[in-house]
Chain A
Amino acid sequence: MPPLLEVRELRTEFRTGAGVVRAVDGISYTVEAGETVAIVGESGSGKSVEALSIMRLIPNPPGRIVSGEVLFDGRDLRKLTEEEMRSVRGRDIGMVFQEPMTSLNPVLTIGRQITETLEQHQGASREDAEKRAIELLEMVGIADSRRRLRQYPHQLSGGMRQRVMIAVALACNPKLIIADEPTTALDVTIQAQILELMKSLTRKLGVAQIIITHNLGVVARYASRVNVMYAGRIVEAGTAEAIYHDPRHPYTVALLKSVPRLDQPRRARLDPVEGSPPDLTKLDGGCAFRPRCRFAVDKCATAYPKLDTVGEQGHLAACFRSAEVATARESTRESAA
């Protein structure tokens, strides 16, 4: 069976005053039905632009999807008309964004935002839509849902608003939900509630999820597979187990080392990734991580390494020296032991 979503060589550019920025630079990956895939990266890595490109929500100008295919459920979303695409958004693919205050319409009631989706996509009557909206609000853990239906977004707390967003995203029984930093704006205990809710609902309903985040802890807790992005490309992909315990790209290794951990005692010093994030207007044909990489050799300046299988099946890394990365990690582990 083909995967639910297959992204092939997707490229998105932005025209800026400083030149053309390749925010997404040839990305390929798949999402199987019902699974949770994480896209992890720091600011400017292209993870959000990549998600917006799948949904064809890139503002043009200045942005433009240059090339690539987005095969969803047997159709190439890039070939659809704008009308057809509108029926995909919200019906086949639900979306949850970081800031529920800006992604909910402030002048519509909570109820209307949900019933609108149902009426648009499923042709439901006002009455049926309202009944379903009450069910949905209860499902996402909003008590007193009849009263909440008449309220406006500003009358709800941040956590409640994000629950409403999830209700809207799930309203039409989508096959896939794209969640872009769904809990970054929320407090830790609320973040945990929302993520648990998304996990239990997507499991129960068999919905696949793409979680886009910079939080390596969230990825470890919720994702089965992970794509690590840097400067518009996927530099490493694999199961969460492989990414966290057998990383083969120097950036992944450095990223994991630089996070302080709640479950470990104070260390003398953190081990940060040296240098600054890349200037996307000044990328050349070589590996973008090269200036910050302690494994870099001459070859890294002239050619960009392909995303290639390393280790077990499905574990990919884009690095000429991934074998050396693995050996170096083994030896530090031995010397530590």
Chain B
Amino acid sequence: MRDQPGTTPLLEVRGLQMHFPITEGMVVSRKVGEVRAVDGVDFSIARGETLGLVGESGCGKTTTGRCILRLEKPTQGQILYDGKDISRLAQKDLVGLRRRMQVIFQDPYSSLNPRMKVGDIIAEPIRVHGLERDPRRRRDRVRDLLSVCGLDPKFVDRYPHEMSGGQRQRVGIARALAMDPEFIVCDEAVSALDVSIQAQVVNLLEDLRERFRLTYLFIAHDLSVVRHLCQRVAVMYLGRIVEMAESDELFDNPMHPYTQALLSAVPVPDPRVEAGRQFRPARGEIPSPINPPSGCVFHPRCPMAVENCRKARPTLRGMRPGHWVACSEVN
């Protein structure tokens, strides 16, 4: 499935599957089941694009990101990065890739080493990869990165605990930029921040994308931020993509019953809009990925489900240009 015909995407994921084994027994462990965290996912990201990957907890969005970063070795499927399949590469062959792909995590409290000064945190990847061997030039580079991320270069001598949450997240971003990457996975990168600070960091990410021609995979559960920041959005549910479209198209015209339930569940900060909104919460809870429902995984909660939904797993179908929906009942 290509979204922009004629251009090679920077990243293409085909049939990605990540099943984690559940084992029992301490001495002789045997597999008693598996968690189907990611269960056959396809998408691509063009250069310079931001793709949003949204869904509720346990939908597999973070695992998808970790597979792409090759922090996990997927059980099946291909990950084509710049045309080359990286899904089976050994650790030592991944070193070159790590320079081109970086990650920004949710929690700036736990992703920064509390015993290292900010300057050392940012300089570490530069040093490890031998990008800048001269300590003085390395220090200049760190100062540059800090000011690019909107922090005072004097912060090099601070420790993470001396900074606010927003400042720490900027340090995390500066560290990701230190390698001069082309692709960044942002995993809930602004979720832990307060509203007023979140907007600052969202703007920073947008500026950096333009300035350094970055490509983002933006993993988040906050749909409002995703609508603002992403060109295209893929909605995941229980390890699968259920719908994918251009951002405005997806939010104005959601077609999958899960996407519709998800969007109507998000309250809009405007009492007038809220007073006039039709609202029906999805019934039930998210089933376990250990024993997912048969056929369409959403069928037990779906208001539109028919008999066939229990049996056949729906594939993504193009309903409109660039708008893909995995539901057999949508026309």
Contact = CB atoms under 8 A, between A and B. Distances in A.
Nearest to A216: B269
Residue in A160, A240, A263, A276 with the greatest tally of chain B CB atoms within 10 Å: A263
A190 B285 contact: yes
A206 interface: no
Contact of A270 (B228, B264, B267, B285): B228
Given A189-B282, A260-B225, A270 B199 contact: yes
Contacts of B199: 258-260, 270-273
Interface stretch (A83-91, A218-226, A326-334): A218-226
Given A260-B227, A270-B202, A196 B263 contact: no
B223 A193 contact: no
Interface residues of B, number: 47
B248 A259 contact: no
Interface stretch (B62-70, B89-97, B108-116, B271-279): B271-279
B107 interface: no
Given A42-B194, A188-B223, A217 B269 contact: yes
Given A260-B225, A265-B248, A267-B228, A188 B262 contact: yes
A68 interface: no
B129 to A, nearest CB: 32
Contact of B267 (A42, A159, A221, A264): A221
A196 B281 contact: yes
Given A261-B224, A273-B196, A244 B202 contact: no
A103 interface: no
Contacts of A254: 196
A26 interface: no
B268 interface: yes
Most buried by B among A159, A216, A276: A276
Interface string A265-286: 1110111111011000000000
B223 A262 contact: yes
A256 interface: yes
Contacts of A159: 285
Interface size class on chain A is 35 or more
B56 A187 contact: yes
19 contacts: A188-B262, A190-B56, A192-B266, A193-B283, A196-B279, A215-B267, A216-B269, A217-B267, A222-B267, A244-B270, A259-B224, A260-B202, A260-B229, A261-B270, A262-B224, A269-B206, A270-B199, A270-B228, A276-B167
Nearest to B200: A272
Nearest to A159: B285
Given A261-B269, A262-B223, A157 B285 contact: yes
Interface of B: 56-57, 164-167, 194-200, 202-203, 206, 221, 223-225, 227-229, 247-248, 251-252, 261-274, 279, 281-283, 285-286
Contacts of B271: 220-221, 240-241, 244-245
B196 A272 contact: yes
Interface of A: 42-43, 157, 159-160, 187-193, 195-196, 214-222, 240-241, 244-245, 254-256, 258-267, 269-274, 276-277
B265 A191 contact: yes
Given A157-B285, A220-B269, A221-B274, A187 B195 contact: no
B269 A259 contact: yes
Nearest to A222: B267
Nearest to B163: A276
Nearest to A141: B283
B194 A220 contact: no
A220 B203 contact: no
Contacts of B266: 188, 192, 217, 262
B270 A258 contact: no
A206 B266 CA distance: 26
Contacts of A216: 195, 269
A5 B261 CA distance: 36
A189 B196 contact: no
B12 to A, nearest CB: 24
User: Top 9 closest A-B pairs, CB basis?
Assistant: A272-B199, A217-B267, A273-B196, A192-B265, A260-B228, A216-B269, A187-B56, A258-B199, A221-B267
Given A217-B269, A220-B274, A42 B248 contact: no
A189 B56 contact: yes
B195 A258 contact: yes
Contacts of B283: 193
A333 to B, nearest CB: 15
A189 B281 contact: yes
Contacts of B279: 192, 196
A271 B202 CA distance: 10
Contact of B251 (A195, A256, A262, A274): A262
Contacts of A276: 164, 166-167, 197
Contacts of B56: 187-190
B228 A193 contact: no
Given A217-B267, A260-B225, 5 more contacts: A188-B223, A188-B262, A189-B262, A216-B195, A217-B269
Contacts of A264: 227
Contacts of A191: 265
A272 B195 CA distance: 8
B266 to A, nearest CB: 5
